[in-house]
Amino acid sequence: MIGVAFRRLLSAIPVLLIVSLIAFGLMRLIPGDPAAAIAGVSATPAQIEQLRRDLGLDQPIYLQLIDYYRGLAQGNLGRSLLLGTGVFAATMERLPVTIGLSLYALVFTLLIGIASGIIAALRQNSWVDQAAMMFAMIGISVPSFFLGLLMIILFAVHLGWLPSGGYVPFGESPVGWLRSMTMPAFSLALLQAGLLARITRSSMLEVLRQDYIRTAKAKGLPHRRVVLKHALANALIPIVTVVGIIVSLLMSGAVVTEALFSIPGMGQLLTQAVLNRDYPMVQGGLLLVTTFLVLVNITVDVLYAALDPRVRYE
């Protein structure tokens, strides 16, 4: 398994190289004069010239590239034009917020999605199955911002149980963090939970038909063990594959959710950066988010090997 982790880490290197090149190209690919575009229409020629020098755009391209990678090696992603602080520091302040939100949403997704998928599969075609699948359909169809709004109206405005927005760092107050993040995480999770419920259901139905399930029953194992050990261990294999994708969907979905609940995460940071043509920020943020997602997918691959011995021994 350590072998799998090591091989996957190695294979992540070219991916990160390509991503970093794309991030580098981002600013240079702006049509016309990037410095003028970044500075905006009201900038004076002197300001544009100053910006060009600040961003190193006056250098030949190969020197820019060397500078860029030298910076990356030192953890220096440049300075944000808007915030005036280092891109890395700004990202490290916001990225954990988004990761926290996404992982919390992932917990909801897994709990709701896998549980309702298993129950629906075990009671195939019963009213329980139909109710679970209708619920999944609603989850898939309702946009998360709309669900978020409904939740704010109900739980924050009418019942007053939860705050309508804002953010409390986990380190400051775990309870406060839970209170501020539950609605955003749930509204973000429901769409993915619906998808996962459907995938879990069909995966379970497929596995429950297999010969080894009949063998497990023929051995006199209790029903619970047949389902939760023999069936689930196999049904989880396709589910884990989707979990990697779900995490990246949750991260991108978080942009809207953060805006709705005024959570100071990556979504807000990057939206501001894009609107204000803060290219160094966009570039660095993109690189760091991608790195995180690559790590998530490596974890998924390792999990995959943990679940399926046939992968482990390849």
Residues that bind another protein (CB under 8 A): 210-212, 214-223, 225, 229-230, 233-234, 237, 307-310, 313
Rounded CA separation 298/6 (Å): 9
Rounded CA separation 241/210 (Å): 20
CB of 160 to another protein, least distance (A): 48
Query: Residue 198 CA to chain centroid, in angstroms?
Result: 20
User: Toward another protein, which CB reaches closer, 179 or 217?
Assistant: 217
CB of 4 to another protein, least distance (A): 15
CB of 197 to another protein, least distance (A): 22
For residue 228 the two structure tokens come to: 């939760």
Rounded CA separation 161/185 (Å): 16
User: Toward another protein, which CB reaches closer, 11 or 124?
Assistant: 124
User: Toward another protein, which CB reaches closer, 236 or 287?
Assistant: 236
User: Toward another protein, which CB reaches closer, 199 or 231?
Assistant: 231
User: Toward another protein, which CB reaches closer, 22 or 232?
Assistant: 232
Rounded CA separation 2/138 (Å): 41
Count other Cβ atoms within 10 Å, centred on residue 300: 18
Q: Which residues contact 117 (CB under 8 A, 6 or more apart)?
A: 132, 196, 197, 198, 199, 200, 201, 203, 204
User: What is the distance between the terminal CA atoms of the chain, rounded to a whole angstrom?
Assistant: 11
CB of 300 to another protein, least distance (A): 17
CB of 308 to another protein, least distance (A): 6
